[in-house]
Structure 1
Amino acid sequence: MENDITVKITDREGIVHEVTAPTDMAMNLMEVIKMYELAPEGTIGICGGMAMCASCQCYVDSAIVLPEMQDEEEAMLSEAFYVKENSRLSCQIPITADLDGLEVELAPES
C-alpha cells in the first residue's frame, strides 16, 4: 500500500523482522510490535502506551530523525533498566511516512 512504510525490528532473541507499518491508522511503534507479535504477550506495552512503564523500550539503530522526546518519556527512561544513549519508548514514536527504513532493537525485559 502507498500508506505503508518498512521498519526493521530486532526482537529480544536477536532475530531481525522487516515489517510493514501503516501510516494512515494513527499507530505507534509499540502497537506495530504487538501487531506482529514480536515480543511475548504481557511483556511490552504493559501501561497501554502511556509512557509509564518502559516495557516497550527500544534502541534506535538508524539515523532517521524521530519526534523530540517529551518530558514523560525522558522521566520514564531515567528510571528504566538497560537504558542506552539511543533508547526511546516505542509507544512514543508515531508511525509516519518519515520513518520509512527505521531500524530498532527491543531492549531486554526488565
Structure 2
Amino acid sequence: MPKLTVQRPSGVEEVLDVPAGDSVMEAATAAGVSEIEAICGGDMICSTCHVYVVDGPVDALPPVSDEEDEALGFVKAPREPGSRLSCQLPMSDAVDGLVVRVAPTQ
C-alpha cells in the first residue's frame, strides 16, 4: 500500500497508508484531515482540496489538466508551482512516498 505524508498547516505531519486508486483527497479526508474541505467531493469545481506537492515521486503524478488549471485559478491560498487539487492526485505504487502540504486556507 503506498504511503502518503500529509503536512497540515499547523506543521503536524501524518503518514497514511493509502489503497492504490484512492485520491490524495479521499485518503486525507478519510484520515480526518479536516483542513481539506473537499466540498464538491472530488468533482473539481470547488477548489477546496488545494495542496502543495512538496516531495516524493512528483514526476509520476499525472500532469495538470486544463480543467484542473482553471479550477486552481480560484484557490484562496496563494498558488505555487506545486499547487494541485488533491482530488486529481491518484495514489499508486508509483507515487509511494508522496508528500503534500495542505494549503492554509481553502
TM-score, normalising length: structure 1: 0.86
Q: CA deviation at 1:81?
A: 2.1
Name which of 77, 83, 96 aligns with 1:87. Answer: 83
Deviation >4 Å, runs of 4+:
none
RMSD: 1.3
Moved more, 74-83 or 85-94: 74-83
Contact 1:29–1:94, Cα closer than 8 Å, also in 2: yes
Instruction: Give the SS at the match of 2:52.
Output: strand
Q: 1:45 aligns with which of 16, 38, 57?
A: 38
| Equivalent residue letter for 2:93 | A
1:54 equivalent to 2:47? Answer yes
> What code does the residue aligned with 2:90 have?
P
Q: Which amino acid aligns with 1:81?
A: K
5+ residue gaps, structure 1:
none
Cα distance in 1 for partners of 2:47, 2:81 equals 15
User: Superposed, which structure 2 residues align to 1:21-32 within 5 Å?
Assistant: 21-23=18-20, 26-32=21-27
Paired residues, number: 103
> Max radius of gyration: which structure?
1
Identity across aligned pairs (percent)?
30
**What is the CA–CA distance in structure 1 between the aligned matches of 2:27 and 2:17, rounded to whole Å?**
9
1:63 deviation in Å? Answer: 4.5
TM (norm. structure 2) is: 0.90
**Residue 96 (structure 2) aligns with:** 100
Match of 1:13 in 2: 10
Report the secondary structure of 1:18's partner residue: strand
In structure 2, C-alpha distance between the alignment counterparts of 1:27 and 1:8, rounded to whole Å: 14
8 Å CA contact 2:25–2:49 kept in 1: the answer is yes
Secondary structure class of the residue paired with 2:105? coil
Partner SS for 1:45: coil
